[in-house]
């Protein structure tokens, strides 16, 4: 048989050879080559079987796929797949091809899904063994559920990207000019100082920027691993358990529900109303129905849109289509946030101002020189027309150009973009530690501007740990000890209504003293636990006696789930509904009493049912109702679960306690000027009770004052009325995902910056529409997470408040740095301009100015960008959507400090020598030292924009203290030991005292200035200068 297959395969290869083969004496060698090659290949692989699908393709001519055999004029390659000894009759390539081709016929040839499961040593009900040896064998035979990643960007790529920055290019050009002019004027030995120092400074900025971006990229990679580590529910040894998506192996039985991502390629084992969104793979927006008869194939990476089911995993990792696609995708962490874009624009604008000032200085100095108003050291005119040698003229012009270049260098604030990168990377890392995973960098800063948070109730404000605390049979309240008095018939109906109309499961190990394990959603687990422990339900017995015919799966719009079942003993058809109590009770015309008698549901009975529901809701209980009906065969022919003339079984009340600390967190937000709106699917009474408990509503607040509204009423309002009422709304009950989307759109139209939480698939539109989408890490579906900006890993509202604090901290840290940076820019530009125009030279050399640049750029950014959030941040109103980046408070602070520095330094420039009886070089060193120390002391002032005590909490920021210490040490080294390089002279103790005294005066000045009140309206709005408004926006 083997020889026959080999001969047949070789004949097919020869027939499909791309080069035309004529069986003639000339061409016979061609055929002979093929035959010999095939013989050797099969001889070497005598113990290896050909893939069933491959053999099948040759034995069925119509299904033959030439891709299985690839032949060229030079080589012949045959796909020969070696089976694993433990999994006979099936191999990885045949399994992968099965799902990719979506061929029901090929699935049938392999014995259907049960045949595939048997070949994979898996049980369709109990799953695989799952012990380490079994998993290791499956890894060896079929691979792991991981993807090859493209190589990460190396550090040198980030260095190259930094070199391409326009600011860096300008600085490098200036460095080259300065180096050339310096060597021309002073020779090679000393002429390289200025230009060389600019190069050193530029390379230092590039190094810090590159390292920061490189680390941020690596941080994104780590976050990416966390975000891709999706928990899935699998069955192993009959036990339903949660495992990581990376732990899935071929043969696993996986549970799927609405919102889940299909974790691997597979085949449907059983499912109900299962629909999958395959748009991520096919581009088609229509949902695909998955069923056993026509389309049982599930593709990894797709999303479950409706229903639920179980699948058998057939391919994992790189053997899936999704794996091949994902291996080519790398996440781009070079996302530009809105704040970074604004700061790049500000940097560019300040650079232009610096160029303008430098150009004016250049013109003024050239005019002064060529008009003969400047004098040399001996008091002679520097320019005497034809008497001045060309060499002296060139040297003078070179010196003037060098002075102008120096001004350009100090004017360009290359530290601004660096500060944003540092503070965003730092805050993102700290937010991760505080249970918030940032998916989009822009959300870090946008969250600081949030004016409204629309939050879910279940799991966010509450613990999502439900327990049944109340039970009503019909209208009768049942206490725990009275369950034995329930009629056997009614008890059986409850067992059916709970045990078969559920997406959860019950497992009990055969080991002695083992307890029940419940899985599913918190609501399902609590009801199953109640039915098993209180009503003595036997899940296995229930499933043995009834077959499920049709399921109406629960979703957030229907708020109920139904099941149509058939009794295997007598063939009768039954329908069960479970869901929101007021919805189920409206479907009922009768109810069961304690003895199992069916009674008509009169109007008075309906009112009593409403009171029961309202009473439970007022106690913060989620009220679930059960209803039953025996369905006539004629009615069953329609296939769907009927929804009228049901018999009410009863109600259960589920208690979901509020999270500890949530009331304080809500109060924290309200004090910060952020409105909290609770949007829930529960009824009005439950919603109002929980909202009052959490502090969103006041205890005496009435429903009719507009604070509480139902989703249906909200969506039926006109746009104008909705806009008018949306500000007052605090709670929206019985809402659908569409209502949440409407509220977000309405609030944004009113100018609010909206953060919204969501966990369901249907929340995706609202999460995308909001300024900040916050998805839940535990209960959130994969669809919701992918639509969000930040994932709250512990589903806790307090973590949302933490995100708000960090968002404000990011914005505040950037403002601190801008204030610090601009103070230096203004002072340095004015001093150099005034001195150049009046004295014909700049008091600070290029090396000195570059050292100041390093303090305010690199070290300043590190010190101020890593400040932690303070309590004061949450006592301010949110930053508006259109509020300028540089506020009036910042202008007040920076102008006061800049004017003080200008006054002191110009006094030293023109009168320092006479006041302190020192020579010119010492005076220049005094100016430089005072200027640097002023920046060091002003760095303390920059720690707070408004608070007078700038030393509060300084001991907690060790990095800030370390940077101040490093700066002071380096300044001493530059002044005392690098005299030639930095053009300084040693200072005595008295002169150091003078410098420190001038610099320390900035502290009391800062304290006094902060006592001056400033208007809230931006200063440039009074001047109506569009350019300046755009510049500092």
**DSSP notation for 909-925:** HHHHHHHHT--HHHHHH
Q: Establish how many alpha carbons lie within 13 A of residue 847's alpha carbon, considering only the half-sphere containing its beta carbon.
A: 21
Let me know if 260 is a catalytic residue: no
Q: What tokens were used for 244?
A: 């990581």
Residues 6+ apart with CB under 8 A from 771: 446, 449, 450, 748, 753, 754, 755
Q: What tokens were used for 301?
A: 């990476």
What are 314-367's pLDDT values in tens digits? 999 888 877 766 655 544 445 566 676 777 777 778 878 888 888 888 888 888
Three-class secondary structure of residue 244 per DSSP: strand
What are 563-597's pLDDT values in tens digits? 999 998 888 999 999 999 989 999 999 999 888 89
User: For 831-834, which contacts have Cβ atoms below 8 Å and span 24 or more sequence positions?
Assistant: 831/901, 831/902, 831/905, 831/906, 831/909, 831/931, 832/357, 832/361, 832/403, 832/406, 832/407, 832/410, 833/357, 833/360, 833/361, 833/407, 834/906
Q: What tokens were used for 540?
A: 């296995």
Among the ranges given (44-53, 798-807, 864-873), the one the predictor scored with the smallest mean pLDDT: 44-53
Q: Is the pLDDT of residue 48 over 50?
A: no
Is 922:991 a contact under the CB 8 Å cutoff?
Answer: yes
Three-class secondary structure of residue 84 per DSSP: coil
pLDDT score, position 591: 94
Secondary structure element (H or E) that encloses residue 994, with its range: helix 989-1000
Question: Among the options 91, 194, 260, 456, which is catalytic?
Answer: 456
The model carries a pTM of 0.72
Highest-confidence segment of 25-39, 212-226, 500-514, 609-623? 609-623
Q: Is the pLDDT of residue 22 over 60?
A: no
pLDDT score, position 738: 87
Among the ranges given (35-44, 443-452, 814-823), the one the predictor scored with the smallest mean pLDDT: 35-44
pLDDT score, position 327: 57
Q: Is the pLDDT of residue 648 over 90?
A: yes
Q: Span 985-989, mean pLDDT?
A: 92
473 pLDDT band, cuts 50/70/90, is: very high
Nearest alpha carbon to residue 467 among 693, 653, 682: 653
Q: Other CB atoms closer than 10 Å to residue 547's CB: what's the count?
A: 12
pLDDT score, position 328: 54
731 pLDDT band, cuts 50/70/90, is: very high
pLDDT score, position 334: 54
Among the ranges given (99-108, 374-383, 607-616), the one the predictor scored with the smallest mean pLDDT: 374-383
Q: Establish how many alpha carbons lie within 13 A of residue 111's alpha carbon, considering only the half-sphere containing its beta carbon.
A: 10
pLDDT score, position 480: 66
pLDDT score, position 217: 75
467 pLDDT band, cuts 50/70/90, is: very high
283 pLDDT band, cuts 50/70/90, is: low
DSSP label at residue 628: E
């Amino acid at each position: 048989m083997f020889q026959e297959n080999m001969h047949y395969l070789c004949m097919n290869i020869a027939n499909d050879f791309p080069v035309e083969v004529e069986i003639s004496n000339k061409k016979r060698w061609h055929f002979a080559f093929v035959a010999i090659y095939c013989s050797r290949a099969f001889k070497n692989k005598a113990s290896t079987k050909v893939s069933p699908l491959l053999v099948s393709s040759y034995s069925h001519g119509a299904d033959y796929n030439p891709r299985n055999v690839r032949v060229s004029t030079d080589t012949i390659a045959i796909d020969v797949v070696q089976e694993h000894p433990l999994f006979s009759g099936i191999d990885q390539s045949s399994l992968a091809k099965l799902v990719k081709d979506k061929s029901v016929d090929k699935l049938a040839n392999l014995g259907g899904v049960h045949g595939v499961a048997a070949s994979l040593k898996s049980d369709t009900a109990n799953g695989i063994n799952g012990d380490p040896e079994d998993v290791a064998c499956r890894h060896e035979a079929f691979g792991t559920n991981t993807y090859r990643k493209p190589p990460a960007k190396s550090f040198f790529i980030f260095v190259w990207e930094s070199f391409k920055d326009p600011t860096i290019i300008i600085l490098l050009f200036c460095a080259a000019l300065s180096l050339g002019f310096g060597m021309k004027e002073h020779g090679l030995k000393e002429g390289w100082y200025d230009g060389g120092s600019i190069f050193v400074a530029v390379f230092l900025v590039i190094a810090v920027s590159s390292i920061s971006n490189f680390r941020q990229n690596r941080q994104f990679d780590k976050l990416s691993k966390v975000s891709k580590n999706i928990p899935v529910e699998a069955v192993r040894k009959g036990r339903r358990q949660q495992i990581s998506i990376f732990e899935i192996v071929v043969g696993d039985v996986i549970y799927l529900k609405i919102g889940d991502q299909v974790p691997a390629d597979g085949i449907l084992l059983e499912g109900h109303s299962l629909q999958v969104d395959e748009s991520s793979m096919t581009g088609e927006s229509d949902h695909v129905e998955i069923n056993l008869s026509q389309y049982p194939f599930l593709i990894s990476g797709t999303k479950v849109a409706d229903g639920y089911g179980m699948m058998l995993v057939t391919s994992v990792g790189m053997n899936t289509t999704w794996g091949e696609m994902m291996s080519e995708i790398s996440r781009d962490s070079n996302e530009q946030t809105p704040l970074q874009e604004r700061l790049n624009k500000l940097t560019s604008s300040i650079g232009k101002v610096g160029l303008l000032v430098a150009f004016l200085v250049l013109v003024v100095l050239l005019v002064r020189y060529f008009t003969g108003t400047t004098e040399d050291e001996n008091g002679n005119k520097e320019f005497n027309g034809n008497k001045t040698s060309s060499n002296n003229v060139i040297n003078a012009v070179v010196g003037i150009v060098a002075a102008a270049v120096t001004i350009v260098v100090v004017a360009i604030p290359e530290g601004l973009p660096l500060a944003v990168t540092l503070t965003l990377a730092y805050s993102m890392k700290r937010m991760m530690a505080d249970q918030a995973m940032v998916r989009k960098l822009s959300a870090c800063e946008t969250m600081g501007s949030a004016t409204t948070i629309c939050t879910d109730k279940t799991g966010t404000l509450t613990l999502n740990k439900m327990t049944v605390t109340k039970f009503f049979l019909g209208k009768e309240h049942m206490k725990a000890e009275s369950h034995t008095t329930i009629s056997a018939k009614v008890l059986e109906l409850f067992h059916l209504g709970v045990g078969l109309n559920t997406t959860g499961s019950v497992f009990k190990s055969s080991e002695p003293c083992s307890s029940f394990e419940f899985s599913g959603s918190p609501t399902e687990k609590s009801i199953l636990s109640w039915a098993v422990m209180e009503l003595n339900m036997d899940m296995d017995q229930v499933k043995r006696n009834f077959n499920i015919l049709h399921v109406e799966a629960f979703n957030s719009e229907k708020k109920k789930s139904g099941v149509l079942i058939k009794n295997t003993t007598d063939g009768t058809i039954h329908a069960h509904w479970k869901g929101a109590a007021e919805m189920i009770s409206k479907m009922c015309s009768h109810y069961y009493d304690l003895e199992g008698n069916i009674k008509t549901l009169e109007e008075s009975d309906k009112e009593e049912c409403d009171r029961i529901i309202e009473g439970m809701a007022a106690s913060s209980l989620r009220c679930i109702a059960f209803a039953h009906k025996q369905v006539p065969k004629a009615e069953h022919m329609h296939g769907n679960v009927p929804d009228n003339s049901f018999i009410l079984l009863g109600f259960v009340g589920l208690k979901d306690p509020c999270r500890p600390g949530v009331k304080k967190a809500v109060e924290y937000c309200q004090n910060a000027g952020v409105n909290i709106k609770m949007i829930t699917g529960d009824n009005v009474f439950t919603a109002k009770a929980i909202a009052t408990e959490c502090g969103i509503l006041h205890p005496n607040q009435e429903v009719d004052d507009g604070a509480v509204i139902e989703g249906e009423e909200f969506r039926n309002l006109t746009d104008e009325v909705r806009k008018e009422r949306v500000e007052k709304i605090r709670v929206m009950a019985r809402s659908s995902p569409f209502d949440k989307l409407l509220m977000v759109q309405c609030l944004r139209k009113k100018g609010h910056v909206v953060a919204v939480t969501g966990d369901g698939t249907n929340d995706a539109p609202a999460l995308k529409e909001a300024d900040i989408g916050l998805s839940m890490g535990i209960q959130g579906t994969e669809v919701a997470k992918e639509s969000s900006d930040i994932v709250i890993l512990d589903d806790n509202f307090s973590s949302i408040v933490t995100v708000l604090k960090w968002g404000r901290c990011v914005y505040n840290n950037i403002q601190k740095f801008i204030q610090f940076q601009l103070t230096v820019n203004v002072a340095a530009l004015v001093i150099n301009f005034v001195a150049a125009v009046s004295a014909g030279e700049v008091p600070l050399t290029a090396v000195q100015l570059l050292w100041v640049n390093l303090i305010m750029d690199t070290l300043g950014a590190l010190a101020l960008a890593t400040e932690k959030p303070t309590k004061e941040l949450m006592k301010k109103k949110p930053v508006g959507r259109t509020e300028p980046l540089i506020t009036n408070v910042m202008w007040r602070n920076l102008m006061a400090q800049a004017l003080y520095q200008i006054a002191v330094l110009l006094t030293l420039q023109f009168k320092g020598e006479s006041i302190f009886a020192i020579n010119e070089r010492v005076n220049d060193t005094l100016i430089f030292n005072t200027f640097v120390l002023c920046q060091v002391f002003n760095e303390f002032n920059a720690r707070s924009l408004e608070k007078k005590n700038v030393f509060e909490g300084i001991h907690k920021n060790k990095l800030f203290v370390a940077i101040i210490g490093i700066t002071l040490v380096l300044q001493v080294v530059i002044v005392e030991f690098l005299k030639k390089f930095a053009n300084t002279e040693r200072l005595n103790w008295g002169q150091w005292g003078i410098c420190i005294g001038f610099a320390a005066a900035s502290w009391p000045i800062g304290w006094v200035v902060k006592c001056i009140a400033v208007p809230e309206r931006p200063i440039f709005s009074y001047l109506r200068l569009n350019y300046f408004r755009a510049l500092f926006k």
